[in-house]
Amino acid sequence: MPFVSIGGVALHHRHIEAAGSSRPIIFINSLGTDFRIWDDVVARLAGEMPMLVYDKRGHGLSDIGSGVRSINDHVDDLLGLIDHFGFGKVVLYGLSVGGLIAQRLYNRHPKCVEALILSDTAHKIGTAESWNTRIATVERDGIEVIADGIMKVWFTPEFHAKRSAELAGCRNMLTRQALPGYIGTCMA
């Protein structure tokens, strides 16, 4: 399994090389997920462009390091990955909190970003009160207690009805997420 240490944090990743001169695209996953959410997309685009998928700090198989205090911690990790792979300009695809990370990276280092693809995100998601309520709930009762509500937001009723095995797998990915990484990113 490929890991790289960025600022003392071991980040799990998959780098898919491609011939040609296309800009690399980096996929940044949402809260409570790991890079497996991009598997179908990566399979369809394989060979067309270089791609990098990775588990954010505190997600999937990546370390939490000293924790997550702000979105900038995630941005610093991403910048470290860009530097590690020797990428010049990149295309960033950010989903939900991944979109926040992509936007902040662009804000801090616009010259290294060719384009942004933003999905289900905004410049700010939720309110301090909504995040603090989620954090308190998860600290007290675990992610399991909020999982069904999240699945209703993530997936359509048709998906729930016709793809129950995939739904169960996605729910497992969420509920097995390490609490420090989940809570730290909520705080960020």
Angle at CA of residue 97, ends 95 and 98, nearest 5° = 50
Using one digit for the tens of pLDDT, what is the confidence trace for 63-106? 999 988 899 999 999 999 999 999 989 999 999 999 999 999 99
Query: Using only C-alpha atoms, what is the Rg of the chain?
Result: 16
Domain boundaries, the chain: 3-187
pLDDT tens-digit map of 130-163: 999 999 999 999 999 999 999 999 999 999 999 9
At the topology level, CATH places domain 3-187 in: Rossmann fold (3.40.50)
3 state DSSP class of 130 = helix
Asked if 16 and 82 count as a contact pair (C-beta separation under 8 A), the reply is no
pTM across the whole model: 0.95
Q: What are phi and psi of 14, to 5 degrees?
A: -140, 125
